[in-house]
């Protein structure tokens, strides 16, 4: 910075203003000289050092439960895009659904002096999360933690399940199997199962049951396919991971896709149109969820004091051949 000031013939304070947030205080002539000196010397300010001096790092932390989940990647892209647009950088930590990794990552994010935190968590470390929430703004994605008074951004799960059941019923399916990833306390999975059971109980012409992914699912699927029922059968998969598991198992069982069984999936993935006649899906607005999560956090960083807000977006039904009309 001293070298830039000497070459431009200005004070070090003027250079600091130019690379900081007070550039408007400089005359056009001085700003031009500083800009030319920076270009000549190839000067690059140390953003981390500047942030620490000012008490701001412009770093946002994001805790992700499973970075291999396509949903997590898509939402993370939305968060990062919004961060970049507002001059922030994103630090991502993947817990891999491991409680000990989550605890270590929470400690690491604190040490990085992040200004705010976006969390997609199992919620098993409530004390650590609550302590962090007292220190900095926090926004939850997809999964609520009852003990944390934080903004929550995600999907309207009850409405998404209703859209799925309505569509399957209209297409003539009467025997519906919901397949979810294994329950680990994740609020979104619990909400989807609860909504499914409630809707099935309200409709006398439908029969429904719930299974979870795991070693026994192949045999359970085979039993479901072979059992007599009230009418055409369909699978409703609770997320992209469950959809991939079920599609693979159906192939292993020799079940033609999708002649004997229908399939509707929650989440929209790139490979869905490529399987059989295409997989009908309920697409989550993942980009919008990520952007909204950051914008909520930015509001809090700017001093917003409203009570915790809920943003639950609607899913979009995309109809393909896997739910063709049944007699």
Closest by Cα among 54, 53, 73 to 64: 73
Provide mean pLDDT across the span 19-30. 79
Exposure pattern of 131-151 as b/e (b: 16+ CB <10 Å)? ebbeebbbbbbbbbbeebebb
Mean per-residue pLDDT, 241-251? 95
Considering the domain architecture, whether residues 277 and 162 belong to the same structural domain is answered as: yes
The helix or strand, by DSSP H or E, that contains position 250, with its residue range, turns out to be: helix 240-252
Each residue's pLDDT tens digit, 54-96: 557 889 999 998 898 899 999 999 999 999 998 899 999 999 8
Q: Are residues 21 and 114 in the same domain?
A: no
Label residue 125 by pLDDT band (50, 70, 90).
confident
Residue 122, in any domain of the structure: yes
Average pLDDT over the chain, rounded to an integer:
91
Q: Quick count: other Cβ atoms within 10 Å of Cβ 276?
A: 18
- Same domain, residue pair 299 and 229: no
Longest distance between any two alpha carbons in the chain, whole Å = 88
CATH code of 201's domain: 3.40.50.2300
Q: Could you tell me if 277 and 307 lie in one domain? A: no
Report percent pLDDT > 70 for the chain: 95
Q: How many residues does the chain have?
A: 327
pLDDT of residue 50: 55
* pTM summary value: 0.82
Total domain count, the chain: 3
Question: Can you tell me the distance from the alpha carbon of 267 to that of 269, in angstroms, rounded to the nearest whole number?
Answer: 6
Domain containing 296 equals: 57-155+286-313
């Amino acid at each position: 910075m001293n070298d830039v000031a000497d070459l431009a013939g200005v004070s070090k304070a003027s250079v600091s203003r130019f690379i900081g947030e007070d550039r408007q205080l400089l005359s056009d002539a001085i700003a031009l000289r500083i800009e030319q000196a920076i270009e000549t010397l190839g000067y690059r300010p140390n953003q981390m050092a500047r942030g620490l001096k000012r008490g701001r790092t412009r770093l946002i932390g994001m805790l992700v439960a499973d970075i291999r989940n396509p949903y997590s990647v898509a939402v993370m892209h939305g968060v990062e895009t919004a961060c970049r647009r507002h001059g922030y950088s994103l630090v991502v930590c993947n817990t891999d659904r491991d409680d000990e990794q989550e605890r270590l990552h929470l400690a690491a994010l604190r040490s990085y002096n992040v200004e705010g935190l976006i969390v997609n968590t199992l919620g098993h470390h409530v004390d650590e999360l609550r302590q962090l929430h007292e220190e900095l703004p926090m926004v939850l994605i997809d999964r609520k933690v009852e003990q944390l008074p934080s903004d929550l951004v995600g999907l309207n799960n009850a409405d998404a399940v209703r859209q799925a059941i309505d569509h399957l019923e209209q297409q003539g399916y009467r025997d519906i199997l919901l397949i979810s990833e294994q329950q680990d306390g994740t609020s979104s999975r619990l909400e989807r199962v609860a909504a499914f059971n409630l809707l099935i109980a309200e409709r006398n012409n439908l029969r429904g049951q719930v299974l979870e992914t795991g070693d026994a699912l192949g045999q359970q699927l085979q039993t479901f396919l072979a059992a007599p029922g009230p009418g055409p059968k369909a699978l409703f998969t609770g997320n992209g991971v469950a959809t991939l598991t079920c599609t693979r198992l159906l192939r292993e069982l020799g079940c033609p896709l999708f002649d004997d069984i229908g399939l509707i999936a929650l989440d929209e993935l790139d490979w869905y149109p490529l399987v059989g006649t295409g997989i009908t899906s309920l697409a989550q607005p993942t980009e919008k969820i990520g952007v909204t999560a950051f914008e909520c956090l930015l509001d809090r960083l700017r001093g917003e004091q409203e009570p915790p807000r809920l943003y639950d977006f609607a899913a979009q039904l995309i109809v393909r051949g896997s739910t063709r009309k049944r007699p």
